[in-house]
Amino acid sequence: MPTLTRVVEIVTQGHSIEANGVSKQIWNVFHWHNTGGTTSESALAMGNGFVAQIWPTVAAALSVGYIADQCLARLLDNALEQYVVCTKQTNGVVTGDRLPSYACVTVRHKTAQRGKNYRGSKHLGPVAESDTLTDEIDPAMQAKWNSATIAISQSFTITATGGIWSPCVVSRNLSQLKTDPVTIIGADVTQGILNLTIGTMRHRKEKTKHA
């Protein structure tokens, strides 16, 4: 089993406003593995680098219905380390009406390891109606979603400090993260695959409204 060190967990917390005025949480969790360059960066430095260099490409694909709340980061290597609040990520950019909050664009992450413990996915939303054609991403709008897929699926260098970070899949089943010394079992992402079919996240669904 491949063991990782220097893994930062980033949580982007946002919300959308439903038709009934209720705020619906839209959170995404990302894991990044320090693979080169500076190896002493803090979780805060990594989180701020992610917000500055990676997130704008994601935000450019999201509906304006995505409202950013905060971005958190922590180093998984220390079981006692608390999340730090990073620079807040930007809101979604694409104007116009959106699909329901439970509709999302799915990016699948593959690694060099076999098995479900080494596969991951990200569910990005809300999605603007103008980005879709029937049940899929409109081919005319696919380029920005391709860019978002690449951004969260390949290594990047933090401009301010020089650390090289690669997206990775962390197995919650195989890892031991509750007490020190922790054991982080996972693998670096080798490929990001954009699902053209619009997916669903049921826990983001608005409660049924009756006439």
pLDDT per residue as tens digits for the range 123-139: 999 999 999 999 999 99
Residue 203 confidence (pLDDT)? 64
Measured distance CA(171)–CA(156) in Å, rounded: 22
Measured distance CA(16)–CA(32) in Å, rounded: 26
Asked if pLDDT for residue 208 goes beyond 70, the answer is no
Question: Which amino acid type is present at position 24?
Answer: K
Judge whether 129 and 98 are in contact, CB under 8 Å.
yes
DSSP-assigned beta bridge partners for residue 104: 199
**Tens digits of residue pLDDT in 35-83:** 999 999 999 999 999 999 999 999 999 999 999 999 999 999 999 999 9
Asked if pLDDT for residue 100 goes beyond 90, the answer is yes
Residue 130 confidence (pLDDT)? 97
What is each CA distance from 208 to 21, 66, 88, 200, 211, in whole angstroms? 13, 21, 32, 16, 10
Q: List, in sequence order, the alpha helices (H) in the chain.
A: 43-53, 55-59, 142-151
Asked if pLDDT for residue 89 goes beyond 80, the answer is yes
Asked if pLDDT for residue 18 goes beyond 60, the answer is yes
pLDDT > 70 fraction of the chain, expressed in percent and rounded: 96
Residue 206 confidence (pLDDT)? 60
